[in-house]
Structures are given as C-alpha cells and as structure tokens.
Amino acid sequence: MDSSPLSILLLVSSPHEAPVSVQEDLAALHDAVRDLDYDVEFVTCVAEPNAVQRVLNRQDRPPFRVLHFIGHGASAHEKMGAQLAFEDRLGSLHLLDGARLAPVLSPTGRPEFELAVLSACHSEQVAQALIKLGVKHVVAIEADAAVYEIAAVRFYEHFYRALFTGASVAQAFRAGRSAVLADDRLGESAQTEAAKFRLLPTEADHHTTTLKAPPTSSPVRIQELPAISSSHFQQPAVGFIGRATEKLEVLRRLDRHRAVLIRGVSGIGKSELAREVGRWLAQRGWIDPQRAYFIPVDQARSAEEVRALLAAALGIPADQLPGDERQANDHLASLIPRRSLLLVDEAENVIQYGGRGVRDLLERLLQAPGRPFLLITSQRDMASPGIPIYPLPRMDEQEAIELFARSAHLDPGAWRRLDREHLAEVLNFVDRVPRAIDLLAKVWRREGDPDFTRLLTQLHQYQDRILRDPDYPDEVKSVTLGVQLGYVRLRERSLDAARLFAELPAA
C-alpha cells in the first residue's frame, strides 16, 4: 500500500475587483476536515501564475493528485472559452482560459491533478477547461448560486472523509451530496443546495479512481497564507471594506518606487489603507510577515525622534545610534532587514516641523541595502523625487453605504427597510469620509432615527454654520471638518463617540 502523504494544491484567488472571502473559505475548509486524522497536506498558494509555477516547478515535492480551487470563474463568450479567475502580479483580475491554464498548471509537463474540486461561478464550464488539461474528475460547485456555507462545509467534510479512507471518487462525491441532503439545518433548500454539486465529465468512469491517504495521529494540515501577526496590522472591527482601485494604485507606486506617501484629510482612511496594503504584501510574499514595522510618528517633531521610534520598532537600543545625523541614518539603514515594510504612520507633524532632516532620513531608508518598502501616511505633502504621493479620494458611494450598514450592525431586515437615497444624502454630507461614517452609524443606531429625516434636517439647518477651511480640497468641504473637530475633542475628553453628533451643529 502507498504510504506517502496525499498532497493537495489549494489555489486561492481574490483579485481586488472581485474579492473572495479567502479567510472564511479557508476556515470553512479547516472546519470540514479538522476531525480527519490522515496524512494529507493542503499546500496553499495564491492563484497568480508566477506563484503557482514557483510551487509546481519544484521537483523535490510529492505530486499533487488533487487541485482545490477557491475563487471565481467566467463563462465562455465570443472567442474565449470558459476562464478561471487568477490574479496578476499586482493582484488584479487575470482570466485564464484552457490554453493559458496549461503552462501554469502543468509547467514541466509532469502529470498531476487526477481530481479537481472547483468552487467557482460557471464552475461547470470552467470544469471543461480542466478536463481538457487531462484532469479526469472534476467536482464543480456552482458558486454562482451562492452555496450555503453550511452545505459547502458539509459536503467537504464527507467527501474528503470518504476519499481519504479509500472510497472511489464517485462514492466520495455521493457521500458529500448525501450529507448535504440529510442536513436538517438546510431544511427545504437541501435539494437545491445538493444540486449545485456536480461530478464531471458526466460520461466518465468515476468508480475506479481512489485517492487514499495514510492514517496518522494528527489532523489534515491546511497551510495558511502568510499573515502579519503584529496587532498594528489588524483589520478594523467591521472588516476592511472596498478600496480596490486605491489599493491597486498604491501597489503600482510601491512596485515602481518601493515607496508611496498616502495623503488625505484626517479620517479619510489612510492608515487603514496602508495596513491593508501591508497585509496584502505579506500574503502575496512580497515581504516577510515578521518584518512589517509599524512606526507611529504622530507625536514626533524631529528626524531624531523618528530615528528613535524606528530603532525601537527594529528592536535596537536607541543609545546605539551615532550622534551624527548622517551616520545615524546610515547605521539605521544598514540594520533594516531584507523583505521588510516600514509603515510610517501619521507623518504630517514631523514633516511640518522636522524639515529637511526628516526627508533625508526617509530617503536614506529607501536606499537601504535591504531594499525595504516604505509606506507613509500623512495629511500633508512631502516633496521628494523618490517618494510619489497618492492622494486618497473619499469612499465610493456603495462602499460608504456598506461601511454604514456594518458599523450600524444592520440586520438583513433593517437593511431592506433602509432608505438608500436618504442614506446616500447623509453620507455625502460627511463627504463619505470613513471615520465620519463610522461615527454617524453609531449615533444613528443609538437614536433609532429610522429614515434619517431628523438627522438630515439638522444637517441642512446647520450647514452654513459648519466650519469651512479654504485649504481643504474641494471635494472635502462640508461637515467633515466639523466632524473632525468633534472627533478631536472627543478623543481629548474620552467621551462616548455617540455624543459627538449632539455637539456637531455647534461646531
């Protein structure tokens, strides 16, 4: 009997413009197999051609007999066959049809993947492309019709349990489907859910192939994508929302210059975007997740203070830095490890007061032998030829509504009853600045104003009395500053966020 472990290539694809909840899908898969003590390893890889080829080209690994894909599919149209949604190098959507899948999934021509499990839209059409590549069995899960997570987890659990213990593909498939049909949590929809799972090609013999795995005393392993553990890089409480274009714009600049200064008014989302980019860089292997350094410089006023903060972040005693500015910059630069990210957060004050010294320091860091990535957030510009500026726009209308809904903890019923036009009007009042939206949602929740009329009336009534500042860009002029002012006072006095709006008109 074959006692080598069973290797499964787990491809995850979450392009900026069509994201997939990778973390949740992986958790569901974990859930499904956590009680299975078999020598099986899911090797997780982002579905980006180069990344996949890097894994597949290693000849010192066991062959992958199974391919499990989490992502999107696209139906056949015009001259194109059905396509699988991969990512390109910068994380944008990159569709691959059958012909273009071949060099990616079979770069050395080594025969692999007897079975593919495909959870995607148009999965049935996409399955044909894989079958052409020589995959004999494809379990296609029609994600178009939003498979209940319960159904997917149930299916995986029983399908893989049967498969690993020696069932044929046909039997394992049937076991998975039966589990969906028998799940009382699905009630009447069990039939519909079960019908979304297909075994293809329909005419093939699925009874003879088995993919047994040796039993062990530990559960099936599923590799995680690399992630930054530092608490400075955590997602906001409601999850990171939207910003696909903005993320890509920042990545483009990082790709070209290794540095970018994200500029915008307070609360527009600079720090959140910078963190999100940091998480992406780690997940996609551009940086080492242990080497993502968060350097909050809002209290600093000089280059020397920034150096001390950076030294602390790198774990270097500050008294080891030479007294001479230039030597200190050189010394710090020489200690920055390879594949690192420096996130210099809230730099507006130090840019204003720290003068030339701050710019010299940042430019020196960028030239460090370790070639770090440098992300700066600031409300003000810094003129440096090597560090491009990215002005962060306000949130897109749909994203703003989503942020409101999540911050207000709207349940599906309340979501349906919501007057979106009124809400959009309210959100425009605060320039769709995320911090203001978040605060609005909290106030709205407390006040229970079902249709926003009270809030809108107040906002209209006091519009003219709300502080305006000619220095702010045109698109951010209405009540944002009032909200900000309120927010600053709020922080100073540590008041409940909900009191802000009671104070707003007076601002």
Pick 10 or 259: Cβ nearer ligand ATP? 259
Which DSSP state fits 40?
Answer: E
Pick 160 or 233: Cβ nearer Mg ion? 233
Buried b (16+ CB within 10 A) or exposed e, 352-372: eebeebbbbbbbbbbebeeeb
Q: How far apart are CA 342 and CA 358, in angstroms?
A: 15
Q: Do 82 and 76 contact (CB within 8 A), yes or no? A: yes
Q: How far apart are CA 344 and CA 388, in angstroms?
A: 15
Check binding of 247 to ligand ATP (CB under 6 A): no
Selected from 243, 291, 307, 339, the binder of ligand ATP by CB under 6 A is 243
With CB under 5 A as the contact rule, which of the stretches 217-225, 271-279, 360-368, 446-454 interacts with Mg ion? 271-279
Check binding of 340 to Mg ion (CB under 5 A): no
With CB under 6 A as the contact rule, which of the stretches 198-206, 268-276, 309-317, 460-468 interacts with ligand ATP? 268-276
Length reported for the chain: 507
Q: Quick one: how far is CA 228 from the chain centroid?
A: 12
Tell me how far, at minimum, the Cβ of 346 lies from ligand ATP, in Å. 5
Tell me how far, at minimum, the Cβ of 377 lies from ligand ATP, in Å. 6
Q: Which is nearest to 478 in space by CA: 491, 465, 497, 488?
A: 465
Pick 82 or 375: Cβ nearer ligand ATP? 375
Q: Give the total of residues touching ligand ATP (CB under 6 A).
A: 21
The maximal CA–CA distance of the chain, rounded, in angstroms, is 81
Interface with ligand ATP in residues 403-422 (CB under 6 A): 403
Tell me how far, at minimum, the Cβ of 490 lies from ligand ATP, in Å. 12
Selected from 153, 260, 268, 368, the binder of ligand ATP by CB under 6 A is 268
Which DSSP state fits 302?
Answer: S
Helix (H), strand (E) at residue 110: none
Q: Do 153 and 28 contact (CB within 8 A), yes or no? A: yes
With CB under 5 A as the contact rule, which of the stretches 247-255, 267-275, 395-403, 441-449 interacts with Mg ion? 267-275
Pick 232 or 445: Cβ nearer Mg ion? 232
Contact partner, 267, from ligand ATP, Mg ion, none, Cβ < 5-8 Å per class: ligand ATP
Contact partner, 18, from ligand ATP, Mg ion, none, Cβ < 5-8 Å per class: none
Selected from 13, 119, 168, 271, the binder of Mg ion by CB under 5 A is 271
For residue 450, cis peptide bond before it (omega within 30 degrees of 0): no
Token pair for 346: 């809230």
Burial category of 50 from C-beta neighbours within 10 Å (exposed 0-12, middle 13-18, buried 19 and up) = exposed
Q: How far apart are CA 478 and CA 430, in angstroms?
A: 7
Selected from 16, 122, 270, 307, the binder of ligand ATP by CB under 6 A is 270
Pick 301 or 364: Cβ nearer Mg ion? 301
Using DSSP, state whether 86 is helix, strand or coil. Answer: strand
Pick 158 or 243: Cβ nearer Mg ion? 243
210 bridge partner residues: 168
Contact partner, 14, from Mg ion, ligand ATP, none, Cβ < 5-8 Å per class: none
Selected from 271, 329, 340, 478, the binder of ligand ATP by CB under 6 A is 271
Interface with ligand ATP in residues 423-442 (CB under 6 A): 434-435, 438
Selected from 19, 107, 201, 236, the binder of ligand ATP by CB under 6 A is 236
Pick 123 or 378: Cβ nearer Mg ion? 378
Long-range contacts, 302-305 (Cβ 8 Å, 24+): 302/350, 302/353, 302/354, 302/357, 302/358, 303/350, 303/354, 303/357, 303/358, 303/360, 303/361, 304/328, 304/357, 305/350, 305/354
Pick 137 or 247: Cβ nearer ligand ATP? 247
Q: How far apart are CA 196 and CA 324, in angstroms?
A: 68
With CB under 6 A as the contact rule, which of the stretches 161-169, 233-241, 288-296, 361-369 interacts with ligand ATP? 233-241
Tell me how far, at minimum, the Cβ of 436 lies from ligand ATP, in Å. 8
Interface with ligand ATP in residues 334-393 (CB under 6 A): 346, 377, 379
Interaction site with ligand ATP (CB under 6 A): 236, 238, 240-243, 264, 266-272, 346, 377, 379, 403, 434-435, 438
